[in-house]
Amino acid sequence: MTRQEAKKRIEKLKKVINYHRYLYHVLDREEISPEALDSLKHELYLLEQQYPDLITPDSPTQRIGGKPLEKFEKVYHSVPMLSIEDVFSEEELRHWEDYLKKLVPSEKIDFFCELKIDGFAITLIYKNGILFKGATRGDGKIGEDVTQNLKTIESIPLSLFLHHPLPSDMKQIEERLKKLIKKGEIEIRGEVYMTKKDFENFNKERKKKGEPTFSNPRNLAAGSIRQLDPKLAASRPLKFLAYDLVTDVGQITHSQEHKILPALGFRTDPGRECKNIDEIIDFWREISKKRDTLPFQIDGIVVNVNNNALFKKLGVAGKSPRGVRALKFSPQQATTRILDIRVQIGRTGAVTPIAYLKPVKVGGVTITRATLHNEDQIRKLGVKIGDTVIVERAGDVIPAVVKVFPELRDGTEREFRMPRACPVCGAKLIRPKDEAVWRCPNYNCPARKRRFLYHFVSKKAFDIEGLGPKIIDQLVEENLISQPSDIFTLKEGDLIPLERFAEKSAKNIVEAIQRSKKIPLSRFIYSLGIRHVGEETAIDLAQYFGSIDNLKKATKEELEKIPDIGPEVAESIYNFFSSKRNLKLIDNLLKAGVEIIPPPKIGKKLKGKTFVLTGTLSSFTRAEAEKKIRLLGGHPSSSVSKQTDFLVVGKNPGSKLKKAKELGVKIIDENEFLKLIK
């Protein structure tokens, strides 16, 4: 191949590789396999080795940096990288709006909201369409040149071009951008981050090697970018999310910037335009509910005055622009003191140490208790009664103590020792081999029986409306119930004499109990409280066996044939149904009038096929999709493996997509899935 032919081939290869980078990192799509893309990159590399003078700074082969730097050069920001002032409530947000209206009383103010990703802020400068410089925020005026490290991040384009046309009302902006890409300067700002799954896997690998782990994805992202050796940044799964176009390209809004950024080849958050504070609050609450399911960490939303000209007119107060606020979520962590440590006996006999806390608000909820998990965890944390600790609450997860401040001790703190006898029934506690948990072995322990009753009436089990733990406690103390079947014999006359009960409330509970007598087989299995059997396993058992009688007769070998049920779970199920006490429990429930509804008839269209879902589906919820798969004879699974037949990809997919590609699992989008289940 002549030099001229190589030059043409190199340009074409760069164009194709950049196109597929854009598909994967911006649109979450693939038209060719990762192996095929690697092959194209390899061809490019070989041609460039043959003709080194044809290597350009924007070549995909230049992502892996060269030699380690001795130090970072300083970069002066032409437009300061300012911080954003935080607000934590609707009231504070409304005060901000009032403040803006006083500053610009004649202006109409609307807003643009986007996710506040918990990453490391950087700025990118492109000259004549080629990445020229990348820098950290620093003190807002002066940052550090980290270009070589940023070049290793695949989701940062090394050269700019418009991947698709802008909307028709932005044609002048499009022409301006084209001129700047050809000859000029474009500055983009955003966050370097790491997904939760990538972070988890990264820490696992470090742990295996005996290396110290990182505390959170943001620290790891920041540390990676501020390393002098670019190869270190290249070895870490970093990503980039753009949120700001600094360059003046004409009269545009912030929401229009979020249309320009993807066109230039950047991943960005689509965000939402909001006309008023009410719409902002709705968006904030909506995102708050989804927060734990997002692939990356966020700590709130960013609320911008959408009109960029008005934003500029509002100016800066201190170190923060007046036209933007970060509406944060309630903190997920807080510090408090441990007043006492007591143990709690669970329905399976598990003995869990519970920290009784000085009341503290975490995640918008006042917390007075937190789990310490087990004896080993107490030793690992070095917890003492009286310690100042960090308490963490994530979503609906039980609050937990995650860190101790031994440096704040004053000498009054006391050691905690796990009891060796059950504090409720006095039975000698046991700690099975290879387990971290102590257990009360007494099946008749009052605490175990009570916890089992709580589980039995819970939403995923019999779902008896109005019959919560407090009422259960009352009924147990009055000797009205001692086992689940007793619940179905209760009459209004039994309840009316009790404290806090009136004729109407007694009638409502008895009616709720009677309604709950008809129960699907899967929920009936879940209600039995079999160790290691959660909601999903209960559904699998119901579909596989079709009736409680068939399940009772199942062998360990037969149980292990069911996907996702291993030897330990199979043994637990087998042992449960081998117990006369448990068989009597089921028999008593049936005698009390409980009617088990068999699972719906299963189709054969997806028989033997295993599906995994990732991302958000627009046609139905994940639970609805999984139900549909089951009804057609398929098996929904939570994790990707070699046994997975299909990965169904929705919006914002997680790390399952990467794993599916690695394993060669067939990947389908929502439309293909809908055709499959039609």
Name the residues annotated as catalytic: 116
CA distance 268 to 191: 10
| Residue whose C-alpha is closest to residue 245's, from 257, 255, 253, 256 | 257
Residue type, 454: Y
Q: DSSP code of 14?
A: H
Q: Which long-range contacts (CB under 8 A, 24 or more apart) does 427-436 make?
A: 429/351, 436/373, 436/374, 436/375, 436/376, 436/377
Q: Which residues contact 573 (CB under 8 A, 6 or more apart)?
A: 530, 532, 533, 541, 551, 554, 559, 565
- 191, 206 in Cβ contact below 8 A? no
Which residues are paired to 421 by β-bridges?
428
- What is the DSSP track for 229-283? -HHHHHTS--EEEEEEE-S--SS-BHHHHHHHHHHTT--B---EEESSHHHHHHH
Half-sphere exposure of 232 (CA within 13 A, CB side): 14
Burial of 641 (0-12, 13-18, 19+ CB in 10 A): middle
In angstroms, how far apart are the furthest CA atoms of the chain?
99
Residue 553, SS3 per DSSP: coil
Q: Residue 89 CA to chain centroid, in angstroms?
A: 23
Burial of 306 (0-12, 13-18, 19+ CB in 10 A): buried
CA distances (Å), origin 468, targets 366, 429, 453: 20, 28, 10
Burial of 338 (0-12, 13-18, 19+ CB in 10 A): buried
Task: Report the first-to-last Cα separation within the chain, whole angstroms.
Answer: 52
- Residue ranges of alpha helices (H) inside 516-602 are 521-527, 535-545, 548-552, 556-560, 567-578, 580-591
- 577, 548 in Cβ contact below 8 A? no
Q: In what order do the strands lie in the sheet with 86-87?
A: 86-87, 324-328, 298-305, 111-117, 272-274
